[in-house]
Amino acid sequence: MGGKHYLPLTEEDRNEMLSVIGAGSVDDLFADIPADLRFKGNLELEPAMSELEVLKHLQQMADKNRHFQNCISFMGAGIYDHYIPSLVSHVTGRSEFYTAYTPYQPEVSQGTLQTIFEYQTMICQLTGMDVANASMYDGGTALTEGAIMGCGATRRSRVLVSRSVSPFYRAVMRNYFNSRGLIMDEIPLRDGCTDREALLNMIDENVAAVALQQPNFFGMVENMNGLANIIHERKALFLVSVDPISLGLLQTPAEYGADIVAGEGQCLGIPASFGGPALGILAAREKYVRQMPGRIAGETVDSEGNRGFALTLQTREQHIRREKAASNICSNEALLALAASVYLSAMGPQGVREVAEQCLQKTSYAREKITAINGFELVFPGIYFKEFAVKLPVSPEDANLHLLKKNILGGVDISQFYPELDQTMLFAVTEKRTREEIDILVGELEELK
């Protein structure tokens, strides 16, 4: 029998406790549940397993999967196979961190609170923003809540989102906006980037925010210069979704005039885990802090003047403001923010830059090699960071089937999100890929033409 070892009460304990209470049986404690609602019989679950059995069972299931450890992966589209230094899981595996609740009692939560404060600082350093929160669920919900912040700050209800923003993120935003009665309009593409002329025609006094992604979904570095002026002239806010690794190298959102920055932090030392738990990053200029959702840690002092940290500006939050809160978010992704902090502490400014440079160099190498193959065309000309979209001579499905035989997880098929791009695959090349691995991919793709 399985999990009974989590339950310490003995029969003797139960009997003695019942007699203290003055109840005849545990069932008596459920007498307030009306008889017709009481569940009869056993829940229809499979028999309990021992720890050994459950691990075997799970391993058998996991063995059916192909993954980063038994394949060479070129999958990206928001979730990447970056190197995770050994120390990260050793810190997040400390149970003083992972078995703690939200730090509402700051005197016994200085560990969590200080890590949040340091995380906020590092996100501000990467993005150039003034404030960051303790995390959102993922890149999609972070961007969506950033857009809602924009609506709150401007008291407007329409947001323009570039079609070069991840289709996964746009799907989440569309749903949230639809529910809340906000309007989301998409800015068309031009050569794989946001069409500026279209943006100029679409933006008006009803637009709360304009959302772009850098690098965009196709891996392209968009030219952000001048956009802030266009957006700010209409008193709208400039919202951008970033890849934090790219900020080791790329112009910061602050440098090109963004007001709110969202992003997916999975690339900062977090396993892919089929897409979650990931890390929603949200940061902004100081004047928008009151519209910011989620937890924020702040520095303060204790009764004796010692420095300490506490959750702050809680009047934005649901447990204080209830229906007037900036968002309903309560649980966030604190442990993943911790993982990102540990990653960034170990990598430092040099390490993050080196990872970014290797992504750039290896992507450039892979792109040239792949697009040199007859029948493989780069979909858009431009500047690429760590992924690129290629039109294949065969269907991406067939290509992946072929690659899998050689233990390669090929690219992501993006035709389904962009009907105008048929047979198109998005390849991601992180610092983890070696020249040899890229050459193997190229060799296998050559067989497809």
- Residues 321 to 350 in contact with other proteins, rule: CB under 8 A: 321-325, 327-336, 338, 342, 344-350
Beta strand pairing status for 131-132 and 280-284?
A: antiparallel
Within residues 191-210, the interface with other proteins by CB under 8 A covers none
Q: Taking CB under 8 A as the rule, does residue 247 contact other proteins?
A: yes
Task: For residues 54 and 430, give the distance between their C-alpha atoms in angstroms, rounded to a whole number.
Answer: 34
The residue from 146, 155, 188, 277 that contacts other proteins (CB under 8 A) is 277
When asked if residue 431 is in the footprint of other proteins (CB under 8 A), the reply is yes
Among positions 195, 196, 358, 377, the unique one binding other proteins when judged by CB under 8 A: 358
Which parts of 366-425 interact with other proteins (CB under 8 A)?
383, 385, 397, 400-401, 404, 409, 412-413
Segment contacting other proteins (CB under 8 A): 97-105, 183-191, 374-382, 440-448? Answer: 97-105
**CA separation for the pair 3, 89 (Å, rounded):** 26
Task: Tell which one of 250, 379, 392, 445 touches other proteins (CB under 8 A).
Answer: 250
Q: What Rg do the C-alpha atoms of the chain give, in angstroms?
A: 25
3-state secondary structure of 126: helix
Query: Of these, 56, 65, 201, 375, which contacts other proteins (CB under 8 A)?
Result: 65
Q: How many residues bind other proteins (CB under 8 A)?
A: 211
Using alpha carbons only, what angle is made at residue 217 by residues 362 and 88, rounded to the nearest 5 degrees? 60
Instruction: Pick between residue 203 and residue 339 the one whose CB is nearest to other proteins.
Output: 339
**In this complex, which beta carbon is closest to other proteins, that of residue 93 or of residue 201?**
93
Residue 426 pairs with which residues in a beta bridge?
389, 412
**Beta pairing class for 412-413 and 424-428:** antiparallel
Closest separation in Å from C-beta 237 to other proteins: 19
Helix (H) or strand (E) segment spanning residue 441: helix 435-446
Minimum distance of other proteins from residue 292's CB (angstroms): 10
Residues 127-166 interacting with other proteins (rule: CB under 8 A) = 130-132, 134-135, 137-141, 166
Q: Peptide bond before 47: cis, by omega within 30 degrees of 0?
A: no
* Binders of other proteins in range 1-40 (CB under 8 A): 1-4, 6-9, 13-14, 16-18, 20-23, 26-27, 29-34, 36-39
Q: In the complex, what is the shortest distance from the CB of residue 308 to other proteins, in angstroms, rounded to a whole number? A: 4
Asked whether the bond before 396 is cis by omega within 30 degrees of 0, the reply is no
Contacts for 214 with CB less than 8 Å, ≥ 6 apart: 221, 222, 224, 240, 241, 242, 243, 246, 250, 253
Q: How far apart are CA 321 and CA 293, in angstroms?
A: 12
Options 195, 196, 234, 251; binder of other proteins; rule CB under 8 A: 251
Residue numbers 209-228 binding other proteins by CB under 8 A:
221, 223, 225
Report the distance separating Cα 430 and Cα 397, nearest Å.
Answer: 22
The reply to whether 97 sits near other proteins by the rule CB under 8 A is: yes
The residue among 28 and 205 lying less far from other proteins, judged by its C-beta, is 28
Q: Looking at beta carbons only, is 203 or 261 nearer to other proteins?
A: 261
Q: In the range 285-324, which residues lie near other proteins by CB under 8 A?
A: 289, 295-304, 306-310, 312-315, 317-324
47, 233, 419, 420: which one contacts other proteins (CB under 8 A)? Answer: 47
CA 190 to chain centre: 27
Binding test (CB under 8 A) with other proteins, winner from 77, 261, 370, 389: 77
Tell me the three state secondary structure of residue 263.
strand
Closer CB to other proteins, 203 or 370, in the complex: 370
> What is the residue type of 74?
F
The one segment of 60-68, 199-207, 374-382, 440-448 that binds other proteins by CB under 8 A: 60-68
- Cα–Cα distance, 293 to 260 (Å, whole number): 12
CB closer to other proteins, 140 vs 203? 140
DSSP H helical ranges for 305-333 = 318-321
- Least distance from other proteins to the Cβ atom of residue 449, Å: 21
- C-alpha closest to that of 424 among 386, 370, 347: 370
Dihedral class, residue 305 (left if φ above 0, else alpha if ψ from -120 to 50, else beta): left
Question: What whole-number distance in Å separates Cα of residue 112 and Cα of residue 115?
Answer: 5
Number of residues that this document lists for the chain? 449
Looking at the Cβ atoms of 225 and 229, the one nearer to other proteins is 225
| Residue pointed to by tokens 């007859």 | 374
What's the CA gap between 232 and 212, in Å, rounded? 15
Structure tokens at 45: 């679950």
Q: Which residue has the tokens 């229906």?
A: 323
Selected from 188, 204, 361, 443, the binder of other proteins by CB under 8 A is: 361
Pick between residue 138 and residue 259 the one whose CB is nearest to other proteins.
138
